């Protein structure tokens, strides 16, 4: 047989097998779920779920489940509408459980939920300038009891210097207490919980717990939450940490195990490389690595509420030699002061965020 004729004969048989033999197939194979996978919505938009099926399928009921939680049901193809204003942002998986003739079949789709509106644009005013130790590759920064606490990153094997944990005098920018950590480990974000300092590591998937006053290492823990350890903060009840993606994890303050998460989105899509974190008046403030932006994030939904353009704070052309990117936000609750700095910067700035 001519190869060309054989080719078209095979194609014809495949077409029949896929499309032309519907009568030999279970009708449930032609059930579809709406909306289409990947459809985007803004937070607050109603989302209508429905199932379409051929005339010979008459389901007893259809139950809709989002991320494991029931959100509605129907006895026919009537749509079920879900409010989205309180949902966390990001990809949400929807499963339609179709009950028919004593059996149940599941059909899935997904939506992507974005922030309801574009973040408000803010800028800043510099209120005071302090010194900052240029040997510190700032990974974590916080303020408590009149001092800055700082995690300085680096790994000796990579030629970056040794990571350290520091207690810093605000007026001089110099450490009043400092310990170097394991030279094989790259230190990252820190938080204070009671009388302990918690420190993340970069790719080592472990965390350190220190006595706040003496810096004595009390214990270590396995960090199996994110792909990497980046920023960290504490709201008085739970810890938050990120891992270079747009995900911020919730951790138990005593066990350091994951209890939940949010994904950071603005009105356009996911915002990745969320880095150093600080909690200020119930909102998460976050550096975005390799940018001059600070984000204000809703800790309940992940929505970017405000974006602060810090480009003019310390222009690259004016910075000290070896200065790297903006990173480090600390908040003094007592005096309502906000401090920001960068990796190996010679300055730390007291700032106020204002509308443009």
Query: Residue 30 has what pLDDT?
Result: 55
Whether 12 has a pLDDT exceeding 70, the answer reads no
Instruction: Check residue 7 and report its DSSP letter.
Output: H
Report the domain count for the chain. 2
Query: Is 138 found in the same domain as 65?
Result: no
Compute the distance between CA of residue 276 and CA of residue 330 in angstroms, rounded to an integer: 10
Sequence-ordered alpha helix ranges (H) in 86-150: none
Whether 182 has a pLDDT exceeding 90, the answer reads yes
Compute the distance between CA of residue 281 and CA of residue 160 in angstroms, rounded to an integer: 35
> CB of 61 within 8 A of CB of 103?
no
Kindly state whether residue 12 falls inside one of the protein's structural domains: no
> CB of 233 within 8 A of CB of 284?
yes
Query: Residue 104 has what pLDDT?
Result: 86
Q: What is the CATH number of the domain that holds 43?
A: 2.60.40.10
Per residue in 87-139, pLDDT tens? 999 999 999 898 877 788 888 999 999 999 999 999 999 999 999 999 999 99
User: CA quadruple 11, 17, 19, 20: dihedral positive or negative?
Assistant: positive
Q: What is the band of 29 on the pLDDT scale with cuts at 50, 70, 90?
A: low
Query: Is 108 found in the same domain as 139?
Result: no
Q: Could you identify the residue written with the tokens 């472990």?
A: 206
Per residue in 244-280, pLDDT tens? 999 999 999 999 999 999 999 999 999 999 999 999 9
Q: How far is residue 138 from each of residues 73, 199, 290, 317, measured CA to CA in Å?
A: 51, 13, 13, 20
Cβ neighbours for 142, distance < 8 A, ≥ 6 positions apart: 148, 149, 190, 191, 192, 233, 278, 330, 331
Per residue in 271-298, pLDDT tens? 999 999 999 999 999 999 999 999 999 9
Query: Is 244 found in the same domain as 99?
Result: no
Q: How far is residue 147 from each of residues 175, 209, 331, measured CA to CA in Å?
A: 10, 19, 11
Query: Is 98 found in the same domain as 166?
Result: no
- 291 phi and psi angles, rounded to 5 deg: -130, 175
Query: Is 337 found in the same domain as 225?
Result: yes
Q: What is the band of 61 on the pLDDT scale with cuts at 50, 70, 90?
A: confident
Whether 349 has a pLDDT exceeding 80, the answer reads yes
User: CA quadruple 83, 86, 87, 90: dihedral positive or negative?
Assistant: positive
pTM above 0.85, yes or no: yes
Whether 58 has a pLDDT exceeding 70, the answer reads yes
Among 91, 114, 137, the domain boundary falls at 114
Kindly state whether residue 110 falls inside one of the protein's structural domains: yes
Among 93, 114, 135, the domain boundary falls at 114
Half-sphere exposure in the Cβ direction for 39 (13 Å, CA): 15
Query: Residue 98 has what pLDDT?
Result: 87
Query: Is 236 found in the same domain as 153?
Result: yes
Among 66, 94, 114, the domain boundary falls at 114
Average pLDDT over residues 302-327: 96
What range defines the domain where residue 95 resides?
A: 26-114
Whether 8 has a pLDDT exceeding 90, the answer reads no
The average confidence (pLDDT) of the chain is 90
How many separate helices (H) and strands (E) can be counted in the chain? Answer: 1, 28
Average pLDDT over residues 70-88: 88
Kindly state whether residue 17 falls inside one of the protein's structural domains: no
Query: Is 46 found in the same domain as 132?
Result: no
Query: Is 187 found in the same domain as 162?
Result: yes
Half-sphere exposure in the Cβ direction for 98 (13 Å, CA): 24
Compute the distance between CA of residue 241 and CA of residue 193 in angstroms, rounded to an integer: 14
Query: What torsion do the CA atoms of 166, 200, 160, 293 make, to the nearest 10 degrees?
Result: -90
Query: Is 156 found in the same domain as 91?
Result: no
Query: Residue 184 has what pLDDT?
Result: 94
Kindly state whether residue 16 falls inside one of the protein's structural domains: no
Query: Is 252 found in the same domain as 226?
Result: yes
């Amino acid at each position: 047989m001519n190869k060309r004729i054989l080719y078209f004969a095979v194609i014809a048989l495949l077409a029949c097998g896929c499309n032309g033999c519907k009568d030999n197939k279970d009708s449930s194979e032609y059930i579809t779920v709406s909306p289409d996978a990947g459809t985007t919505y803004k937070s607050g938009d109603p989302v209508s779920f429905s199932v379409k099926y051929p005339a010979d399928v008459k389901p007893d009921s259809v139950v809709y489940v989002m991320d494991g939680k029931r959100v509605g049901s129907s006895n026919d193809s009537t749509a079920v509408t879900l409010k989205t204003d309180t949902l966390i942002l990001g990809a949400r998986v929807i499963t339609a459980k179709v009950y028919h003739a004593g059996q149940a079949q599941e059909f899935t789709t997904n939506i992507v939920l974005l922030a309801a509106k574009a973040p408000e644009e803010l800028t800043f005013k510099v209120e005071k300038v302090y010194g900052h130790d240029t040997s510190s590759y700032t990974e974590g920064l916080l303020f408590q009891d009149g001092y800055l606490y700082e995690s300085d990153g680096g790994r000796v094997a990579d030629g970056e210097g040794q990571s350290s944990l520091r207690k810093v005098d605000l007026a001089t920018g110099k450490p009043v207490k400092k310990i170097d950590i394991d030279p094989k480990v790259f230190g990252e974000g820190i938080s204070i919980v009671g009388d302990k300092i918690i420190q993340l590591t970069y790719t080592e998937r472990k965390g350190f717990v220190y006595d706040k006053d003496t810096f004595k290492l009390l214990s270590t823990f396995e960090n199996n939450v994110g792909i990497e350890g980046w920023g960290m903060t504490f709201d008085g009840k739970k810890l938050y940490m990120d891992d270079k993606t747009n995900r911020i994890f919730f951790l138990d303050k005593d066990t350091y195990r994951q209890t939940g998460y949010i994904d950071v989105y603005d009105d356009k899509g996911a915002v990745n490389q969320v880095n150093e974190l600080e909690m200020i008046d119930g909102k998460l403030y976050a550096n975005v690595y390799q940018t001059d932006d600070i984000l204000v994030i809703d800790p309940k939904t992940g929505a970017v509420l405000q974006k602060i353009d810090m480009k003019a704070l310390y222009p690259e052309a004016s910075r000290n030699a070896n200065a790297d990117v903006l990173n480090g936000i600390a908040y003094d609750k007592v005096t309502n002061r906000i401090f920001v700095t960068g990796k190996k910067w010679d300055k730390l700035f007291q700032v106020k965020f204002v509308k443009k």
